[in-house]
Chain A
């Protein structure tokens, strides 16, 4: 994982990406406007530099996935990134224009228009390049005006807002040459292929954040920026990240949480999260939504010690499907209670500590249901 703490911004260049028409509309002669390309980087003062640095760092930290370039990709972005970073093609204007053209060509009518920005700067003494797509946000601009001697506020609805402190339509990638030597070679990545012979290129490490990978996003939209445009693939397979998160969290619940009610509540929340419709899991958000304040840091540390995912990851429960159908409680004396998640959601099953005078640390499991069969086993 790239450490982002001391990221600085040197330059930003911005290009405008228009919406593409549908193929059928194109066939009918609808116009397909070209991108509006900048010829020079935008002017930045210290305040803007810091703002871009903060937004980029926050976005990648909250929703960033480690990525590598896919050796099979047809995207031109990997070679543009490599050329910029190794100095063989470090003309920012030309490189960013080529990227903008590539983005525009590869978009379909489904993708929103917006701005394409390329940010370059330094991270731990090394140059990075960060392509970003920013989409329009609507907002109100309100300013005091004098109308015929009377003060009022003029309200203007604008589509010209592209980045705010709470921007959720924001896709960013960040790439740099891996000087630590911990990024896998692109040639022998996840498939274990041997790298081709010939000159050894410096490995490049990267991160991509995409705030649009929510439950409403189709896989096509969600993966477009990562795979089609940037030509990347996730470094960690979603099913492994999901499995690691699930097991590390369950281990932590059972080893570190002593309150039985809390144990059950957390396990229920974990299984519910694995089963819900969202396409990704953000460990920090999971903690904030489901764990008591005093337990969040402990979970964060446990995940870190277990080598689990520290930032958002794409969810794929295929390896843990069998463990998500119900909640199991084992007691010290050998009782075993299996219960569907719905019973917990409906409040039909609950766990609480036994009476305070009882020194045994025992709990009471309450099940409210019609009794069916009772048999020996």
Chain B
């Protein structure tokens, strides 16, 4: 057994750089999928660590190496629980990944059970997409997890405790762990509820516009989001629009994004590593670009009354199509 494990370990060490390529390719695919869904999500990937693989083999008896399907892994962490379904459907519809299995862990929980939550998809990357990867690796499996941040928190902190101690820990401790899982479900539900209430509240149009801008922005670039700044900028910009209701403002900016998509994507690609321009990766930057094109004189006049001029100048410099007077 020891000799076999050593051999497997060596084989996996050789394979590991290839599995890293698989994981990174899936991560790239997932980022594009998330953008198309217009949701806020973080995407990451990992390659299984050697000790973790060895432990899995030890626990599972003499399993062949190629039977382990999470040597490459990727995770999509969404901001809202309702986005999980949107994302997992989009992954299933993707044509460049073969989705072999989908499991929503909620399906195995009874009504009174609270435990690990998330959607797992076992995907295979067609070998034609990674021709440099040797065929000895077998099918290029990757495990994709789609979860909320709260679900991930429980999975990373409480779930390992449960797995380690469930045979011998006191019932009170195990009950507490499951209680935390229930709290995470309530947390996710309340976060979504807060956003719904805020974005539909009378007298708070900036929040409704922010939700719209976020949906537009997420398809274009990975955002930084300081909601407080966003609301202040949107409040400044809203009087510049002839449209009275927030949905019409969002529709106008959406039309602008459709018309200027190529240039907008170019700008965000050019400035992908920029940390100087404070507002560039905030969702409301789309409104600023739209107003720069529409009437930069009125924009600057309005802007200067309440916000630092240099923030607008920075965005104009990034946009490149309009030059503000010095």
> A: which residues have CB within 8 A of B?
4-8, 46-47, 50, 53-54, 57-58, 61-62, 165-166, 284-285, 287-288, 293-294, 296-297
Contacts and interface: CB of A to CB of B under 8 A. Distances in A.
Interface stretch (B8-16, B73-81, B132-140, B267-275): B267-275
Give the most central of B317, B323, B325: most A CB within 10 Å: B323
Contacts of B326: 62, 166
Interface stretch (B37-45, B93-101, B169-177, B293-301): B293-301
B271 A50 contact: yes
Contacts of A294: 298
A122 B318 CA distance: 16
B320 interface: yes
Contact of A288 (B295, B320, B325): B325
A62 B320 CA distance: 12
A4 B273 CA distance: 21
Nearest to A46: B273
Given A5-B263, A6-B263, A293 B320 contact: no
A293 B320 CA distance: 21
B270 A287 contact: no
A53 to B, nearest CB: 8
A364 B132 CA distance: 84
Contacts of A296: 295, 297-298
A275 B270 CA distance: 44
Contact of A284 (B274, B295, B323): B323
Nearest to B294: A297
Contacts of A287: 297
Interface string B287-311: 0000000111110010000000000
B276 interface: yes
A297 B296 CA distance: 8
A50 B298 contact: no
B315 to A, nearest CB: 12
Contacts of B298: 293-294, 296-297
B297 A285 contact: no
7 contacts: A5-B263, A46-B274, A58-B317, A165-B313, A285-B325, A288-B297, A297-B295
* Interface secondary structure of B, over-half rule: helix
Contact of A5 (B271, B276, B321): B321
Given A293-B297, A296-B297, A7 B320 contact: yes
Contacts of A46: 273-274
B165 interface: no
A285 B326 CA distance: 9
B266 interface: yes
A284 B276 CA distance: 27
A50 B301 CA distance: 27
A287 B313 CA distance: 18
A310 to B, nearest CB: 11
Contacts of A58: 317, 323
Given A287-B297, A293-B298, A50 B320 contact: no
Contacts of B270: 8, 50, 53
Contacts of B318: 54
A8 B313 CA distance: 19
A62 B273 contact: no
Contacts of A57: 320, 323
A5 B294 CA distance: 16
Tell me which of A284, A285, A287 has the highest count of chain B C-beta atoms within 10 A of its own C-beta: A284
